[in-house]
Structure 1
């Protein structure tokens, strides 16, 4: 849906700080109500090197994605706006381009806010459902026969939860889209430290394995917590596996969940 800029300014109270719910490398996010429903309005930062043709291509790719574990696009705005701005100490009349994406609003927030120092604050069945749902959403992106989508910045901040704690992958609007699932070489991926695989850091190679590595890092962080995840480079692999298994069993005991599920799937994750 093509939304007019003046309408978006109205429902966000002119992008009021009171309605801001988040920010990131791509832009600022505001909560608003449109047609009686809560939506998230992402006002993109000026994007160097992104022309209008590329933006619309990415927008169409995002609009075509439909899956229960991928955030749903409900509208967009792409308008130029003339205004007075300060430049080199002078006030000039200039044209600015506004690029805005509107998504369904996720009441549960991001997965990041549920991860504590020792482990995830959520019980194991909920964690397992988040892991499984994210897997299914990621597989849907990678399995498109004509244009598989690689996220390339998957992290707890980009896994959003609705009111029933169903996970949905977000921040797809600026992901790279490839014509095949083969490995490619690039210089312009904007990932996050700790979630980028060694083949990209060393050789700038990207494939669907990029997202798989990122998701593995997310699972480790969910089970081991912030402090445990940061300690994995300081101990032998088997010692870290034992630490994670101990954390998962402790989490299950605290939440009175079945012990067999976390033990079984922890072994699977790290095998």
Structure 2
């Protein structure tokens, strides 16, 4: 949908401060209601190199993406206006390009609100739901469109959650648009350098393994916590996995009535193992996202089988047979 700027200004109360729900290096996000639907309105900052045709073409490509784990782009506004502005002490009549992207509104906030120093504040089933859903959304972007779509800014703040804690990858259109300007991403970002792979920092190299590296960092931060994340590069993988296992064992044992945690720990350690391969400095050793989804499918089937077997063994009637 192509929004007129006057409509965007009306539903955001002229971009009022009390409707701001977030901000970052790309722009400011406002909460608004349009035709009875709550939407997130992102007013972009001035992005060098982004022209009219380029913006329109890229948005039309992205608006066709439909997946349960990718935030839906609803519409955009791209209008120019003239206004007087101060320039080195002089008042000049300048042309200003107003660029706005509109998304579905996610009531559950973002993943970064749940990641703590030692682990994620969420229970393991929810953590797994977020890991699996994010992986499936990324797989859709990489492999299910007419051409590969790389996110290039995957981080906990861009993994949004709905009321049922279903994850959806956000800021997709913005990352794609900025990438298309051929501007180095580190110059456009605000505090996300830790999520980009070493080959990008060194040579500006972008491939399908870029997002895989970011996903690995996210999973490790979820399961190990922000403080423990740095240790994954300081100690052997087996020792790091053991550290995460011990922390989660303590966490699960503290839960009243949680009598068995071996199955959950297997899930945690398996996901950490996958994540450690994702953050390998050698991009050729990182798994592809479709392989990650396949591994998670196999893991899920294994955990369900183990859970079913455990339930059967606890059945007093089954014990007598």
Identify whether the pair has TM-score above 0.5, normalized to the shorter chain.
yes
Report deviation, 1:267.
3.2
Q: Which residue of 1 aligns with 2:85?
A: 85
Question: Structure 1's 90 and 209: CA in aligned 2 closer, same or farther, altered over 3 A?
Answer: same
> Aligned equivalents of 2:213 and 2:119: distance in 1?
20
Tell me, yes or no, if the aligned pair for 2:244 and 2:269 is still in contact at 8 Å.
no
> Aligned equivalents of 1:16 and 1:108: distance in 2?
22
1:35 aligns with 2:31: no
Give the secondary structure class of the aligned counterpart of 2:202: helix
Tell me, yes or no, if the aligned pair for 1:119 and 1:251 is still in contact at 8 Å.
no
Report deviation, 1:241.
1.7
1:259 aligns with 2:261: yes
After superposition, residues 53-92 of structure 1 pair within 5 angstroms as 53-92=53-92
Give the secondary structure class of the aligned counterpart of 1:175: helix
TM-score, normalization by structure 2: 0.77
Q: Which residue of 2 aligns with 1:203?
A: 203
Give the secondary structure class of the aligned counterpart of 1:252: helix
Q: Which residue of 2 aligns with 1:181?
A: none
Give the secondary structure class of the aligned counterpart of 2:193: coil
Give the secondary structure class of the aligned counterpart of 2:174: coil
> Aligned equivalents of 1:49 and 1:55: distance in 2?
10
Q: Which residue of 2 aligns with 1:189?
A: 185
Report deviation, 1:230.
3.1
Q: Which residue of 2 aligns with 1:48?
A: 48
> Aligned equivalents of 1:189 and 1:155: distance in 2?
14
> Aligned equivalents of 1:254 and 1:49: distance in 2?
53
Which of 98-107 and 166-175 deviates more? 166-175
After superposition, residues 118-267 of structure 1 pair within 5 angstroms as 118-144=118-144, 146-176=146-176, 188-190=184-186, 192-255=192-255, 259-267=261-269
Indicate the structure with greater helix content. 2
> Aligned equivalents of 2:140 and 2:194: distance in 1?
24
Q: Which residue of 1 aligns with 2:25?
A: 25
Report deviation, 1:95.
1.2
Tell me, yes or no, if the aligned pair for 1:28 and 1:42 is still in contact at 8 Å.
yes
* Residue segments in structure 1 that go unaligned for 5+ positions in a row: 178-185
Indicate the structure with greater strand content. 1
Question: Structure 1's 163 and 254: CA in aligned 2 closer, same or farther, altered over 3 A?
Answer: farther
Report deviation, 1:14.
1.0
Q: Which has the larger radius of gyration?
A: 2
> Aligned equivalents of 2:55 and 2:248: distance in 1?
42
Tell me, yes or no, if the aligned pair for 1:43 and 1:101 is still in contact at 8 Å.
yes
Give the secondary structure class of the aligned counterpart of 1:205: coil
Q: Would you say how many aligned residue pairs link Structure 1 and Structure 2?
A: 263
Tell me, yes or no, if the aligned pair for 1:155 and 1:214 is still in contact at 8 Å.
yes
Report deviation, 1:239.
2.5
> Aligned equivalents of 2:15 and 2:245: distance in 1?
45
Tell me, yes or no, if the aligned pair for 1:75 and 1:101 is still in contact at 8 Å.
yes
Which of 155-164 and 55-64 deviates more? 55-64
> Aligned equivalents of 2:251 and 2:122: distance in 1?
9
> Aligned equivalents of 1:187 and 1:83: distance in 2?
27
Tell me, yes or no, if the aligned pair for 2:78 and 2:97 is still in contact at 8 Å.
yes
Question: Structure 1's 235 and 206: CA in aligned 2 closer, same or farther, altered over 3 A?
Answer: same
Which of 245-254 and 39-48 deviates more? 245-254
Question: Structure 1's 24 and 226: CA in aligned 2 closer, same or farther, altered over 3 A?
Answer: same
Q: Which residue of 1 aligns with 2:101?
A: 101
* Residue segments in structure 2 that go unaligned for 5+ positions in a row: 275-321
1:20-41 CA deviation, whole Å, 9 max, x = no partner?
Answer: 1101111110101111121100
